[in-house]
Every structure is written in structure tokens, then in C-alpha cells.
């Protein structure tokens, strides 16, 4: 088995440093395997959040060679030769080593009103056709790894957490806004409270999404266009106000 060096951030919110660990690596190993080996052989107190090890729980998000990725889905042989740098997510407060406090995201989720379904059909059922739910089904693939939140420069670099809800929750808003049964009017909040205008659609969220959700093209831009319908399109405004059409 070959040896490989990992440069891992160790520390907490007060400070810390990069520490180099060299361990044996084998074929098929992912970054999370290497971290577990470091925990077993060098530093049992190295903090790292993980759970399913199958790319479905979204727990093991971290930055590997500077890119936000799931450590359980990043094979070592997919990384270039040399030292592998591993850091915690940048957009959220650091707890310890590779663990960040992502609870801000859960607070954002609470701000979003749940589905407000229209009345049931006469037989007591709700009915949706497949073509109506295709779009929102894509959004349900989200595993809430928050890699998109981490890479979004509005949150990551500009720290606009109080202005912009972030790509993950624009996806959730799109999922509800486009839902064929939802009756809630969310457009005003999408613009004013959740900050659709803060996104400058540079697509990093889409690039890092492990579920390959078209975050920018299928969620954020369609929401921006709906905001344009309501607030910026003078013809749509005229039709709505003067002719009384929605």
C-alpha cells in the first residue's frame, strides 16, 4: 500500500493550525476512510462529522484541496498526486477541527412557510399529474449537505447571512413555489426576505452539488423570473393592474 500525506486543519473558533498526517492508503479509499485511519493511528480526538458513508446523509461535508465536497464520495485516486489539504466549511462557525455549526441553515428552514395545499378533490384526494411534479422532484434529491451554502460567495465571502437565505433554501422555496398544489404566495418574501436579488448566478452552487441538482438553472433563475413578473416587468404589471389578469 502507498503512503499519502494529509494536511488537516486542527483547532477551534479561537484558532488552530494545519497538521500533517501520513498514512497508508489503498485502492478504492475515499477521503473519509483516510480520516478514520488517521483517527485510529494518529489522533483519536480529530473531530469529523459523518454518518452514512454513502453520499446520502450530507454529514461529511468539508473542503478537500480547497473545494467543498463530501469526504465519503471523494476517492483518493480522483485527487491529484501530493498532499491532500482538508479544511472545515468556511461559511459556518467552526466547532472543532473539521466540524462546523450548520444550525443557521435549520433556522432558515423554519422561516419558510410549509406547503399550503389547495382544497381536496370531491373524493377527498389530492391529485397531481407527473408532468406537474417532475420539476419539484428534482429538488427533493437535496441531501442538505450545505456544500452549496458553503461555496456561495454571498455567504462565504460577503457574509450576507442576514440578507440571503442561500442556494439550498432557494431550492426549497422553488420546490414549494412551483408545487402544483401549493396556494401560498411566496414571491414577495422570496425577493424581500429571502434575498433572491443577492444571488449573481455565478453557479458555484450547481458545480458542487453532489446530487447534481440544477440549482441555478432550475431553481434560482426561475424564481428570479417570477420576481421579475411581479416587480420589474412593466407589461406584466400593466396586465395585472389594468386588465386584472394574473
Partner 1 sequence: MTTATAPRAIGGHKDSFGATTRSDRWWQGGALTAAGLIFFFGYLTVRAFQGTWLWANPYISPTGAPPLFTPASGYAGAIPVSHAWLGAFPAWWPRFLPQSPAFFFPGLAIAFRFTCYYYRKAYYRAFAASPPACAVAGPRLKYRGETALLLFQNLHRYALYGALFLLVCLWYEAFSAFFKNGQFGMGVGTLVMVLNAALLSGYTFGCHSWRHLIGGRKDCFSCDAGSKRAHGIWKKSTWLNSRHMLLAWLSLFWVAFTDFYVMMVSRGVITDLNTW
Residue ranges binding partner 1 (CB under 8 A): 7, 9, 11, 13, 15-22, 42-43, 63, 65-68, 80, 82, 85, 87-90, 94, 100, 129, 131-132, 151, 153-154, 156-158, 160, 164, 177-180, 182, 195, 197-204, 207-208, 214, 216-217, 221-222, 224-229, 231-233
Q: What angle do CA 208, 214, 215 make, to 5 degrees?
A: 70
Answer whether 126's CB lies under 8 Å from 117's CB: yes
Q: Quick one: 52 or 201, whose CB is closer to partner 1?
A: 201
Q: 25, 98, 29, 28: which is closest to 61 by C-alpha?
A: 98
Nearest distance, CB of residue 124 and partner 1, angstroms: 20
Contacting residues for 72 by C-beta, under 8 A, at least 6 apart: 30, 31, 32, 50, 52, 53, 54, 55, 60
Give the nearest distance from C-beta 21 to partner 1 in angstroms: 6
CB closer to partner 1, 190 vs 204: 204
Q: Which is nearer to partner 1, 3 or 54 (CB)?
A: 3
What span, in angstroms and rounded, lies between the C-alpha atoms of 38 and 21?
Answer: 7
For the bound state, the minimum distance from the C-beta of residue 108 to partner 1, rounded and expressed in Å, comes to 17
Please count the other Cβ atoms lying within 10 Å of the Cβ belonging to residue 149. 29
Q: Which residues pair with 86 in a beta bridge?
A: 8, 64
Rounded Cα distance between 79 and 29, Å, is: 11
Least distance (Å) from partner 1 to the CB of residue 46? 11
- Pick 195 or 210: Cβ nearer partner 1: 195
| Least distance (Å) between residue 77 CB and partner 1 | 15
Binning the chain into helix, strand and coil, the percentages to the nearest 5 are 40, 15, 45
Q: Report d(CA 131, CA 146) in Å as an integer.
A: 28
Rg (CA), the chain: 21
109 or 202: CB nearest partner 1: 202
Report the residue number, 130 or 242, with the smaller CB distance to partner 1.
130
Supply the minimum distance, in Å, between the C-beta of residue 45 and partner 1: 13
Amino acid at each position: 500500500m502507498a503512503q499519502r500525506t494529509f494536511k488537516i486543519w486542527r483547532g477551534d473558533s479561537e484558532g488552530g493550525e494545519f497538521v500533517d498526517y501520513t498514512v497508508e492508503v489503498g485502492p478504492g479509499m475515499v477521503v473519509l476512510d483516510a480520516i478514520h485511519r488517521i483517527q485510529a493511528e494518529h489522533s483519536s480526538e480529530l473531530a469529523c462529522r459523518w454518518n452514512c458513508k454513502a453520499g446520502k446523509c450530507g454529514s461529511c461535508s468539508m473542503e478537500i484541496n480547497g473545494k467543498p465536497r463530501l469526504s465519503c464520495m471523494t476517492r483518493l485516486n480522483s485527487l491529484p498526486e501530493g498532499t491532500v489539504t482538508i479544511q472545515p466549511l468556511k461559511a459556518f462557525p467552526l466547532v472543532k477541527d473539521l466540524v462546523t455549526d450548520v444550525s443557521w441553515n435549520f433556522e432558515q428552514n423554519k422561516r419558510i412557510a410549509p406547503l399550503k395545499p389547495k382544497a381536496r378533490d370531491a373524493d377527498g384526494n389530492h391529485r397531481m399529474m407527473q408532468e406537474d411534479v417532475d420539476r419539484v422532484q428534482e429538488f427533493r434529491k437535496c441531501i442538505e449537505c450545505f456544500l452549496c451554502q458553503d461555496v456561495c460567495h454571498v455567504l462565504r465571502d460577503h457574509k450576507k447571512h442576514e440578507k440571503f437565505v442561500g442556494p439550498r433554501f432557494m431550492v426549497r422555496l422553488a420546490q414549494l413555489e412551483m408545487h402544483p398544489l401549493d396556494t401560498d404566495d411566496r414571491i414577495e418574501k422570496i425577493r424581500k426576505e429571502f434575498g433572491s436579488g443577492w444571488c449573481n448566478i455565478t453557479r458555484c452552487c450547481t458545480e458542487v452539488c453532489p446530487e447534481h441538482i440544477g440549482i441555478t438553472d432550475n431553481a434560482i433563475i426561475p424564481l428570479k423570473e417570477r420576481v421579475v413578473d411581479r416587480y420589474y416587468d412593466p407589461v406584466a404589471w400593466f396586465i395585472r393592474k389594468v386588465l386584472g389578469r394574473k
